[in-house]
Amino acid sequence: MAGKTGKLLIIDDDEDVLYSARLLLKQHYAIVRIEKDPAQIPAILKDETYDVILLDMNFSGDATSGTEGFTWLKKILEIDPSAVVVLITAYGNIEMAVKAIKEGATDFVLKPWQNEKLLATISSSMKLSESKQEIEELLSKQKQLTSDLDSQFQEIIGRSEKMMRVFDTIRKVAATDANVLIVGENGTGKELVARAIHRQSKRHDNIFLGVDMGALSESLFESELFGYIKGAFTDAKEDKAGRFEVASGGTLFLDEIGNLTRNLQMKLLTVLQNRQVTRLGSNVPKPIDIRLISATNLPMDELKSESRFRQDLLYRINTVEVQLPSLRERAEDIPILADHFLGTYCRKYAKLPKRISPEAMNKLTRYHWPGNVRELQHTMERLVIMSDSDTLEADSFSLSPDEPRPESMSLNSYQLDEAEKLLIIKAVSKHDGNLTKAAKELGITRAALYRRLEKHGL
């Protein structure tokens, strides 16, 4: 038994076949169960699953047609759609073999069999069974991961009039397959809205796949989005599906789409028009079926500039537009957001419940929040970790009670960290949350700006 794996079920009305098969297969597999009566199949499969099932096609009631075998094959696959079934018979022919495969059998073996042939057939079927199990596990993990991710976004928090309009748009557009463009500053929750639309759509059981277009270099754009075949370029060691193929049947979310160059905009437009992609190195187009949701932090008047963005692509991605307000535009939502994040992080870090004093809440609502909801979230997380008090007072927050607008802020300290934070706030505000432009003005890369935003809790 040591070292042997695999569970086999053999169903045949010939006892000699059953015992000789078990004698042979027990030498190679851990469990070999035999059954003479096919009527026992439902009860057997109710209590146990098997890697491979060997099923006779002709029982005593029907000696040569294989009708019984096909009937029980169908029953097995109804009970377990992933079952790996090998049909065995003494009356096989090519026509019957083809029908067996079409009906869902994995393979077909003739009696009397050669031991080596039978072992080879079961071995290949066992590998198929393992592959199916791996796929099922991956799909289960994918579903759980999607569920875990979506659980964070079950509620986009807000009661302001501006957010009520956003919720109304989500409800109306989710049931359709219309392409959606979400416009808003960084940190306003564009991905949360995209996930909410997907979750309420008819594609909710399929994949939601997000792509940060701002992080894709021009050289990686096609290989990442469209995929490639082995040998398409130096490092292409195997075939790889692109994001469009992977997301087919579900929703593809293209974040920061406004950062695409004109050349890449044309390539994206072609795929959206044709509803098919061609992998790099191949000339065989593959059909795709996606619901497209895009997002940008660029203002619409900039996107509508022909010099910046192709208008034919804009019309293609912008069937419905969702305008997300900045946090400063819906200051009445700050108290409920702050309380929500406070409770979330108290539970996450096993802290006793905390409250925010009225003075502290007043300070939060008067702050400009250049980093929007994301900055408020990071602020509350940091306070939960660092504070030992059950009440967060105004002096707990390193914010000026009457935080001035960034453009009027002046440097009151020669501390490098404070100076850097001030410059970042001014640059981001000047460019209306466009991090690409802000990074360029600061003379750093987008990645470096992201790190500094995280460092300063912005």
Question: Angle of helix 416-430 relative to helix 435-442, nearest 10 degrees?
Answer: 130
pLDDT at 268: 94
- The CA distance from 334 to 361, in Å, is 8
Question: Two tokens at 293?
Answer: 């949701």
pLDDT at site 316: 94
CATH number, residue 421: 1.10.10.60
pLDDT value for 152: 45
Is residue 219 located within the same domain as residue 343? no
Strand partners, 209: 252
| pLDDT tops 60 at residue 422 | yes
In a domain, 340, yes or no: yes
Q: How far apart are CA 183 and CA 325, in angstroms?
A: 9
Q: Is residue 142 part of a domain?
A: no
* pTM attached to this predicted model: 0.61
Strand partners, 52: 8
In a shared domain, residues 221 and 184: yes
Q: What is the pLDDT of residue 239?
A: 87
pLDDT (tens digit, 9 = 90+) per residue, 109-166? 888 888 888 899 888 888 888 887 777 777 666 665 555 555 444 568 999 999 999 9
Average pLDDT of span 198-216 = 90
pLDDT, position 153: 40
Tell me if 355 sits within 8 A of 392, measured CB to CB.
yes
Lowest mean pLDDT among 131-145, 247-261, 299-313: 131-145
Please state the domain count of the chain.
Answer: 4
Return the higher-pLDDT residue of 317 and 143.
317
What is the mean predicted confidence (pLDDT) over 313-341? 94
Identify whether residues 53 and 194 lie together within a single domain.
Answer: no
Domain-located, residue 206: yes
Supply the pLDDT for residue 60.
61
Q: Are residues 222 and 299 in the same domain?
A: yes
The domain that holds 248 is classified in CATH as: 3.40.50.300
Q: What is the DSSP letter of 132?
A: H
CA distance 279 to 281: 6
Q: Output helix, strand, coil percentages for the chain, rounded to the nearest 5.
A: 50, 15, 35
- Residue 175: inside a domain, yes or no? yes
> Are residues 349 and 435 located together in one domain of the fold?
no
* Res. 196: pLDDT tops 90: yes
Domain check: are 279 and 188 in the same one?
yes
pLDDT average, residue stretch 42-60: 85
286 in any annotated domain: yes
CATH number at residue 347: 1.10.8.60
What is the reported pLDDT for 164? 94
Q: What is the pLDDT of residues 352-362, one digit of tens each?
A: 999 999 999 99
Q: Domain check: are 333 and 306 in the same one?
A: no
The whole domain housing 302 covers 152-323
Q: Give the per-residue pLDDT at 299.
A: 84
Q: What is the pLDDT of residues 396-418, one digit of tens each?
A: 887 754 444 444 445 555 567 77
User: Is 143 inside any structural domain?
Assistant: no
Query: Do 311 and 387 lie in a common domain?
Result: no
pLDDT at 429: 73
DSSP string for 244-292: HHHTTTSEEEEETGGG--HHHHHHHHHHHHHTEEE-BT---EEE---EE
Q: Is residue 145 part of a domain?
A: no
Q: What is the mean pLDDT of the chain?
A: 85
Contacts of 451 (CB under 8 A, 6+ apart): none
* Band (1; pLDDT cuts 50, 70, 90): very low
Q: Are residues 105 and 220 in the same domain?
A: no
Residue 172 has pLDDT above 60, yes or no: yes
**CA-CA distance, 277 to 288, in Å (whole number)?**
7
